[in-house]
Amino acid sequence: MSEASPIPPSPKEDPGAPAGGFVQSEEIDTEDIPETDIVFECPHCSKSLSIDQRGAGLVIRCTQCGEPVTVPIPEGMEIEDFDATPEQLSAQLLQTRQALAKALKQSDELASQLAAAIAERDILRKAAKRREQVAAPFRASMAKAVRESELALATLREVAASAAEMFAPPSSEKKGDAPAP
Ligand SMILES: [Zn+2]
């Protein structure tokens, strides 16, 4: 206990710094220490520790040796000074309740939006199914009509070809017979 001034523990001075596995990092922060933090030494290993002043009077584990250490209460302060007043607590409770009500309302809105989207999707699916039911026979009869007209066209071509053959003039060449205009 050489110094009373709040000097942040430097990692360079502590080569055997803890791995942090058993440290509650919320309670002990070795990097950025606000002035309001309580800085003290571990009575077991003399490691310099710091904790938010709300930790006063609490038992924490030393970051270096892992021993339980009681956080000292700063001089001139009472443990009650660190606790929230009933007014503060009820204000916090009110805020929390309002936030909860808001979140519940949002979640209700989301649920009804989701229900509406699902209903719409079902309607669209039913409509698509109905369209398919109507369209399928129509497509089948269209395909049949196309096949039949192709057959008819082929028959017509055959008939036309036969007729052309039947009524064609004898295929003698008439070179030179054509009258000059
Ligand atoms: Zn220690």
Query: Which residue type occupies 13?
Result: E
Q: Could you tell me which residue, 84 or 37, shows the higher pLDDT? A: 37
Each residue's pLDDT tens digit, 137-175: 888 888 888 888 888 888 888 888 888 777 777 665 555
Q: Where are the domains of the chain?
A: 9-82, 84-157
3-class state of residue 152 by DSSP = helix
Cα 96 to ligand 1 centre (Å): 38
Question: How many Å lie between the centroid of ligand 1 and the Cα of residue 80?
Answer: 27
- The highest-confidence range among 10-24, 42-56, 74-88, by mean pLDDT, is 42-56
Q: Residue 131: is its pLDDT beyond 80?
A: yes
C-alpha 19/C-alpha 15 separation (Å) is 11
Ligand 1 center to residue 82 CA distance, Å? Answer: 24
- Rounded Cα distance, 41 and 18, in Å: 15
Q: Is the pLDDT of residue 19 over 50?
A: no
| Whether residue 46 has pLDDT greater than 50 | yes
CA–centroid distance, 84 to ligand 1, in Å, is 29
CB of 37 closer than 8 Å to CB of 8 = no
Tokens 């669209």 label which residue? 124
- Taking the centre of ligand 1 as the mean of its atom positions, its distance from the CA of residue 13, in whole angstroms, is 14
**What's the rounded mean pLDDT across residues 76-99?**
78
Cα–ligand 1 centroid distance for 23 (angstroms): 12
Q: Return the bridge partners of 40, or none.
A: 49
